Chains A and B, each alone.
Chain A
């Protein structure tokens, strides 16, 4: 069954697959991770805010995003962002954004909802007296959060944040629906051009597996290392 397996097509397309495809995949993964954690933390602080409207808005956003399929959200933002751009800039017509920029915005805002829930759990796991101790030292809310609560929450949640990032890494392959040349998209283009679906998709699966498995192995080791000293 592997008699006419064409390894050559893989080898020939390696530069394209990695230089273009994997570069995009990793760029969007790390961008959405960094920006998503920042926005997610802000959302978490909003959800925990004693000011009710803020908590309600943040909660509604997070719950809505979390009940929608990522594919639908990708489409939503793809068509919505140009109109928002027009509204912000006051332009005559919807601003041309294109699938690439749109996908960066989508993944950042989508993942923010998931990072938010992780950070919220992390903040809630910090004993309330830590906050009280911060206030007692004369720190403001912002200072207490920045210097006392968030660093601890972030440290406690680091393995879960990283695990979510591995999920994000795999999820970025869904930009396929916008015909973007991420790692999967690039492979799909080669596969269809050369009629080599079997080779290309198996290769894609192997690469994703090795990278995700390797990363989760590293996270597991980090988790045991973080768990010991308290």
Chain B
């Protein structure tokens, strides 16, 4: 028995009644991009805050921030999605729970929140490492100029740390896109979910998965190019990491 290739399948109508298979793919692509970008922004903001907190001098703040990172890093993403989607509405007061369950696009919001928290823990780890790789004298110099702790982070430590961690952030950015596919387990109709649906309806397995694969490769290449451009953009003239120098 041979597999019957049929690339024309993409122009046939999907039985879901939302247009051709190609159109369902374009929508899936859109949801993947929307979910990934929203979660990425959330992860960057939360990750920066938690990463900074882990480098402060207050042991309690550090402990709580470390706990945050461990919590979101040591539970599988799919389980975290289930917790937000299935469990949270049952634990809050009934009124809020019912409202959560009836939200339009609930799968999207839940996927974004789950993915955002999950990724923020990994971003926080990078931000912490970035800040701690900055020579200690930088903090002392900012402090000696009369900058407050907050100003020192805002103008000196965080801008430097973010520049240093552009390469690891590139792979976290790619991870967000890839991990957004886990959203299909709570009903998010993103790219992989679309490919899976097309396989179920049309039995054209390999066309469906090839299309999804190409779309992900396209996204990956875009991210690599974007981050490379960003890296050049924020590169500091004459700066070579001073790791191990002096002291």
Contact = CB atoms under 8 A, between A and B. Distances in A.
- Do A and B make up one complex? yes
Interface of A: 1, 64, 67-72, 75-76, 79-80, 83, 86, 92-94, 170-171, 173-174, 176-177, 184, 188, 197-198, 201-202, 204-205, 208-209, 212-213, 216
B209 A212 contact: no
State the majority secondary structure of interface residues on B. helix
Contact of A70 (B1, B92, B178, B206): B178
A72 B206 contact: no
A86 B199 CA distance: 20
State the majority secondary structure of interface residues on A. helix
Given A94-B1, A202-B87, A212-B75, A75 B192 contact: yes
Contact of B79 (A1, A68, A79, A208): A208
B182 A83 contact: no
30 contacts: A68-B216, A69-B177, A69-B178, A69-B180, A69-B216, A70-B181, A72-B212, A75-B195, A79-B199, A92-B1, A170-B76, A170-B77, A173-B76, A173-B79, A174-B76, A174-B182, A177-B184, A184-B78, A184-B79, A197-B82, A197-B86, A201-B79, A201-B86, A204-B79, A205-B83, A208-B75, A208-B79, A209-B71, A209-B75, A212-B74
Given A64-B217, A201-B87, A69 B181 contact: yes
Interface of B: 1, 3, 70-71, 73-80, 82-83, 86-87, 90-93, 174, 177-182, 184-185, 192, 195-196, 199, 205-206, 209, 212-213, 216-217, 220
Top 6 nearest A-B pairs (CB, nearest first) are A69-B181, A67-B220, A212-B74, A170-B76, A69-B178, A173-B76
B75 A72 contact: no
Contacts of A176: 78, 185
Nearest to B94: A1
Nearest to A86: B1
Contacts of B196: 75
B15 to A, nearest CB: 19
A195 B19 CA distance: 36
A106 B218 CA distance: 23
